[in-house]
Chains A and B, each alone.
Chain A
Amino acid sequence: MESIGVLMACPMNSYLEQQLENRFKLFRFWTVPDKSSFLASHKDSIQAVVGNAFAGADAKLIEALPKLEIVASFSVGLDKIDLAKCKEKGIRVTNTPDVLTEDVADLAIGLMLAVLRKLCESDRFVRSGKWKSGQYVLTTKFTGKRVGIIGLGRIGMAIAKRAEAFSCPISYYSRSEKPEIKYKYYPSVVELAANCDILVVACALTTETHHIINREVIDALGPKGVLINIGRGPHVDEPELVSALVEHRLGGAGLDVFEHEPEVPEELFALDNVVLLPHVGSGTVETRQAMADLVIGNLEAHFLEKPLLTPVV
C-alpha cells in the first residue's frame, strides 16, 4: 500500500500521522503552499483523503482528485465533506462513530457542572488571590435540574444516562418521537427549551439543524436557562446567543464549538456565566488513539477490498 497516495487535510493527531506515514504515501495538505499546482501534479496518485471536523473534502477538492476512492474522516460529524458529491462519484466515506461518544457526553456534563457551579470562575477567583479579601462565590445546584436534549442519538443518549445519575428529569427533541424511549418528547425545540433548565445540542449539523438555536429558542430557555453546545458552532445563531448573554436574557452557556472557529466572539471573554472550550469534545489521549485506529482500519479495509468498519457512504 506504500504507493497509495493519502492526502491529510489538516494536522489532527501525531499518532495518526505516523501510522499513515508507515503505511501509505502521505501528503500533508496544510504544508503545501500552492494547493492547485500540488493537486494538478498529484491527482493521479491520491486515492484517499483523511479529513476531520475542521477540514474535509468539499466539491472542489473532490473534482480535483479523479482517482479519489475514499474519504476517511477523523470525526463523527461529516459537515466538511460533500456527501452528495461523494455518492454521485461512488466515493466511499467513513467516520469514527461510537469511540468518542463517551468523551463528548462526559464533556457535556462537565460543561453543565462548570457553568452551574461556576468552576472556572471560582478557579480564577482562587488563583487571583481574591478569596483572601473575603468574597464567596454562590452557585446553582445541578442535581435535579431539567435537562433537554436536542438529538437523541448515541451522544444524546449517553448524556441522558449520565444526567439521570444526577436525578435530572430528561426530555428531548428529535425529528420524530422515539416510541421505545421513556423520556418526554417535545415536537419542537421551542417547546423543549420552555420546559427545561439546561438545553444541550447533540444533533448532527445539517441544513435543517443550522441555527436550530435561534432567538425564539433562547427566549424560551430564558434568563435562568443554560445552553450547552457540544455539537457544531453553526447549530447556534451566534450573534443572537451573544446578545442574549450580554443582556442577561439567557442564564449561561457552556460552549465547546463556535461558528467561526478558532474565532470566539470577543464579548464572551468578559462574561462569568460562560465556559469556553477550544473544540475538545473528543480530545482525550485514549479516544484520539481509538479514532486514529479506526481511520487506519477503514483505509486498510478499503484497499484490501474488505468491508469497511464504519461506512457512511
Chain B
Amino acid sequence: MKKKKDHIIRNKTKLLFLLFGVNTESSPTPTMADKEPQQPEELPIVLVHRLPSFKIPSGPSFRDQLRSQFHMLDPHESPEPYGSFLARHAPFIRVLMTIGPSPISAEFLERLPVLELIVATSAGLDHIDLPACWSRGIVVTNASLAFAEDVADCAVGLLIDVLRRISAADRFVRGRMWPVKENYPLGFKLGGKRVGIVGLGTIGSEVAKRLSAFGCTIAYTSRNKKQSVPFPFYASVRDLAANSDVLVLCCALTKETYHLVNKDVMVALGKEGVIINVGRGSLVNENELVQCLVGGEIGGAGLDVYENEPNVPKELFGLDNVVLSPHSAPGTPESFKAVLQLTVGNLKAFFSNKPLVSVVSNE
C-alpha cells in the first residue's frame, strides 16, 4: 500500500517538474527569486497543505507569483515540528491552499479554528471531507474551470478513439498488418449516438457542447435537475444508461457516487454501449466493468482513471474495444497555467472581499 502511494507521489512530483521546470525532489538552489519578500508578515497568510514530498513548484511562474502576493506558510519548510508549527500559527490561518491530493479530514480541520477558505488545485475533491468543511462554514474552491476544456477534449477523444478504433488501428498499421489483412474491421459512427452525461457540471457541460457539434443527442443525470439546461434529465443513472448509447462519467467522487456504475447500469447500457470515464476510477465498479467488457456485456470503454492507480486490470490490455490513458486528461501545460491563475484569482478575491472565482456548491 505504502509502495503504491510512493509511486503516485513520485508521478506527481515528476509532473510538477515537467510543468514548472523545477526538480522538486531535490532542494532547489537559492536564487534571487527564492528570497522572501522583505516584510512577508504584512502579506495575507496562506497555509500550504501538502504531503512532505510535494513542494510548491518554484520558478518564475508558480512560486514567485504566490510569494510576491501572499505569505505562504509551509510547515514542511520549517525546522519546527509539524504539530507545534501548526498550533502556533493556527489562530491566524484563515486560508489554506492544497497541493495535490493531500487529505483534509474533520480532525485536521479541528486544528484550524478560524479557517474560512480552502483553495484546492485539483478538479476532484475526494481527498477533502466536504461535509465537515460545510458544517464549519468553510468555503471550498476547486480547479475544474482550469481543467474543464482539457478533460472534455480527452473525453471526446477517448470516445472517438473507441468508436472508430483509432488506437487499435494505429496498432494494426504499426504491427505491419495492413498489407497482410487489407481490410480493417469497421468502426461505429459517432453522429446520432445518444450520449448520457453523468454529472453535468463544468466538465460535463463542456463535453455536451462538443458532442452536440457531432450530431449526438445529449441527456444527463446529476443530483438535481438543472433548470437552465435544455437536455433531458434522468433521476437515476440506470434510466440514463437504458436510454443512451454512450455514458460519459464526469461527476465528483463522493459517498453517493462510489460505484455508481455497476453491472446493473452496464447491462442497461447494452451490448453496443460505451463507457467513458474521465472522473474518478471508483465511480465504476472496476471488477464488474472488466467482466462486462470481457464478456461482451458492453461494447467498449475509454478510461482515463482507475480504482487503484497506477494499477490497471491486466484483462483490459488484450482488448481492442478499450482505450486506456494514464490519468492524463488534465495533463497539459495550458491547464496548469490556468490552475495557477485560478488559484491566485481565488486568493486575491478572498483577501479583497470580492466574489470567489470557483466556489464548490454544497447543494
Interface set of A (CB-CB < 8 Å, partner B)? 11, 102-103, 106-107, 109-111, 113-114, 117-120, 122-127, 131-132, 134-144, 161-162, 164-167, 261-264, 269, 275-278, 280, 283-288
Interface set of B (CB-CB < 8 Å, partner A)? 7, 10-11, 14-15, 18-19, 149-150, 152-154, 156-158, 160-161, 163-167, 169-174, 176, 178-179, 182-184, 186-192, 209-210, 212-215, 309-312, 317, 323-326, 328, 331-335
Is the Cβ of B326 less than 8 Å from the Cβ of A137? yes
Is the Cβ of B326 less than 8 Å from the Cβ of A126? yes
Neighbouring B residues of A114 by C-beta, 8 Å: 157, 160-161, 166-167, 170
Neighbouring A residues of B331 by C-beta, 8 Å: 136-139
Is the Cβ of B325 less than 8 Å from the Cβ of A102? no
Is the Cβ of A283 less than 8 Å from the Cβ of B332? no
- Please, which residue of chain A has its CB at the minimum distance from the CB of B187? A284
CA distance A213 to B150 in the complex (A): 29
Is the Cβ of B14 less than 8 Å from the Cβ of A134? yes
Please report the number of residue pairs spanning A and B whose Cβ atoms sit closer than 8 angstroms: 188
Q: Which of B154, B169, B188, B335 is within 8 Å of A277, CB to CB?
A: B169
Residue in A126, A141, A276, A286 with the greatest tally of chain B CB atoms within 10 Å = A126
A-B contact pairs, 21 of them (CB 8 A): A103-B189, A120-B170, A123-B167, A123-B325, A124-B171, A125-B326, A131-B310, A134-B310, A139-B328, A140-B334, A144-B149, A162-B213, A165-B209, A166-B210, A262-B178, A262-B182, A269-B176, A278-B172, A280-B169, A284-B187, A288-B186
Is the Cβ of A141 less than 8 Å from the Cβ of B153? yes
Is the Cβ of B160 less than 8 Å from the Cβ of A109? yes
Q: Which of A140, A143, A264, A277 is within 8 Å of B166, CB to CB?
A: A277
Closest 3 CB pairs of A and B: A113-B157, A165-B213, A110-B160
- Please, which residue of chain B has its CB at the minimum distance from the CB of A281? B164
Is the Cβ of B317 less than 8 Å from the Cβ of A106? no
Neighbouring B residues of A285 by C-beta, 8 Å: 186-189
Neighbouring B residues of A119 by C-beta, 8 Å: 157-158, 161, 166-167, 323, 325
Q: Which of B173, B182, B192, B333 is within 8 Å of A138, CB to CB?
A: B333
CA distance A64 to B254 in the complex (A): 71
Q: Which of A110, A131, A269 is within 8 Å of B161, CB to CB?
A: A110
Neighbouring A residues of B167 by C-beta, 8 Å: 114, 119-120, 123-124
Is the Cβ of A283 less than 8 Å from the Cβ of B184? yes
CA distance A166 to B156 in the complex (A): 10
CA distance A141 to B335 in the complex (A): 8
